[in-house]
């Protein structure tokens, strides 16, 4: 499903109207979220334009690999991604280093992300390509080695990398949707949206956990009334590569448990406008979730995840842990 939605600025402005107390925090991250989104849009336009065909190609979606729970980019070589990663670093590092937690690491981060690309056939892989590969394959030892070599605290490198790798990965994911659609002659559906194609709580493209979930609105298909529906289907959204995928409503994205009473909902009293936390009674993880049936606009999901941080605080007090750690829910 393609979401045509509000911008980062519109979404945050709406949240500020409802919860003025959050304004300073939201404003502190607004430029960063907006810059990431803008660059992702530029790269996506360039890489999905058949006439231009720039950027690396994602591997082909394979049903059998997906059935084993392997996300699309796990193990993919991604050589040459470093060129656009460097572009992203040029734009995003100054904004990232405006955050207090990263300011002291600026020199090491610049040395890591802004070095000239290494692309020779006999050379060691570029460190940015190696970083992408380690993150996409969930290779924690390789990731720690890269952080050690760069003289960076692993958590801080991860925090920076989540932002800097994101625009190229979003463009790569958009390209994977496009390729999948051409092959199946379908519009508005990614290969992982096909019934039963992907059953995991982590992202089918990059393997990251979702930052937010959403329940869809009722829709009406003009050409085929049988395809119309009442809405309420659950989708998860990955902020690393921008992918949305369908997920079972009664199941936990973290531990995979399913069934009656596994998932509970936590919402504020009063007009919550569909904002809530879905949390697992078994493993105690939660994911912010937005019911679009109770919301007029479709917000920018990254900005919305930040805009629901008041619920992150409630969850922390309840002893629940976030499914996906973000810079604003690490209390
Ligand atoms: Zn992803
Ligand atoms: Zn669970």
pLDDT at 230 over 80: no
CA-based angle 110:106:322, to the nearest 5? 105
pLDDT digits (tens, 9 = 90+) for 33-45: 999 999 999 999 9
pLDDT at 218 over 90: no
Q: pLDDT tier at 1 (50, 70, 90 boundaries)? A: very low
Residue 327 CA, chain-centre distance (Å), reads 14
DSSP for residue 229: B
- Ligand whose nearest atom lies closest to the CA of 243: 1
Ranges of each domain in the chain:
30-167
Mean pLDDT throughout 265-290? 93
Report the separation in Å between the CA atom of 198 and the middle of ligand 2, taken as the mean of its atom positions. 18
Report the separation in Å between the CA atom of 206 and the middle of ligand 1, taken as the mean of its atom positions. 4
Distance CA 313, CA 16 (A): 17
Q: DSSP states of 14-45 as a string?
A: HHHHH-GGGHHHHHHHHHHHHHHHHHHHHHHH
Report the separation in Å between the CA atom of 102 and the middle of ligand 2, taken as the mean of its atom positions. 31
DSSP for residue 117: P
pLDDT at 211 over 60: yes
Mean pLDDT throughout 119-123? 75
3-state secondary structure of 207: coil
The pLDDT of residue 224 is 64
pLDDT digits (tens, 9 = 90+) for 279-311: 999 999 999 999 999 988 899 999 999 999 999
- C-beta separation of 89 from 83 below 8 A: no
Q: pLDDT tier at 326 (50, 70, 90 boundaries)? A: confident
Among 139, 302, 121, 146, which residue's Cα sits nearest to residue 214? 302
pLDDT digits (tens, 9 = 90+) for 125-174: 899 999 999 999 999 999 999 999 999 999 999 999 999 999 999 999 99
CA distances to 28, 107, 152, 158, 278 from 111, rounded to whole Å, are 25, 6, 11, 15, 40
- Ligand whose nearest atom lies closest to the CA of 320: 2
Give first-to-last CA distance, the chain, whole Å.
34
The pLDDT of residue 236 is 98
Phi, psi (deg, nearest 5) at residue 299: -80, 165
């Amino acid at each position: 499903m393609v979401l045509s939605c509000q911008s980062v600025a519109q979404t945050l402005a709406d949240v500020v109207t409802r919860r003025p107390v959050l304004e300073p925090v939201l404003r502190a991250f607004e430029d960063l979220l907006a810059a990431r989104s803008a660059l992702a849009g530029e790269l996506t336009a360039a890489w999905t334009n058949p006439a231009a065909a720039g950027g690396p190609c994602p591997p082909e979606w394979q049903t059998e690999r997906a059935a084993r729970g392997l996300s699309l980019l796990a193990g993919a070589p991604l050589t040459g991604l470093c060129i656009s990663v460097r572009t992203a670093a040029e734009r995003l590092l100054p904004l990232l280093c405006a955050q207090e937690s990263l300011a002291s690491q600026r020199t090491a981060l610049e040395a890591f992300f802004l070095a000239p690309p290494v692309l020779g056939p006999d050379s060691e892989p570029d460190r940015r390509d190696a970083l992408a590969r380690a993150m996409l394959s969930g290779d924690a030892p390789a990731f720690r080695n890269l952080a050690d070599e760069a003289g960076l605290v692993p958590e801080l490198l991860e925090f920076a990398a989540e932002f800097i790798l994101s625009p190229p990965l979003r463009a790569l994911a958009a390209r994977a949707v496009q390729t999948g659609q051409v092959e199946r002659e379908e519009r508005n559906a990614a290969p992982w949206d096909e019934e039963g194609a992907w059953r995991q709580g982590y992202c089918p493209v990059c393997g990251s956990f979702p930052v937010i979930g959403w329940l869809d609105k009722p829709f009406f298909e003009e050409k085929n009334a049988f395809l119309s529906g009442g809405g309420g289907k659950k989708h998860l959204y990955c902020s690393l590569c921008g992918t949305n995928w369908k997920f079972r409503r009664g199941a936990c994205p973290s531990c995979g448990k399913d069934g009656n009473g596994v998932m509970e909902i936590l919402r504020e009293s009063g007009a919550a406008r569909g904002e809530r936390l879905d949390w697992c009674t078994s493993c105690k993880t939660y994911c912010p979730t937005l019911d679009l049936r109770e919301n007029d606009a479709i917000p920018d999901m990254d900005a919305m995840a930040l805009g629901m941080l008041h619920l992150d605080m409630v969850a922390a007090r309840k002893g629940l842990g976030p499914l996906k750690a973000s810079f604003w829910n690490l209390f």
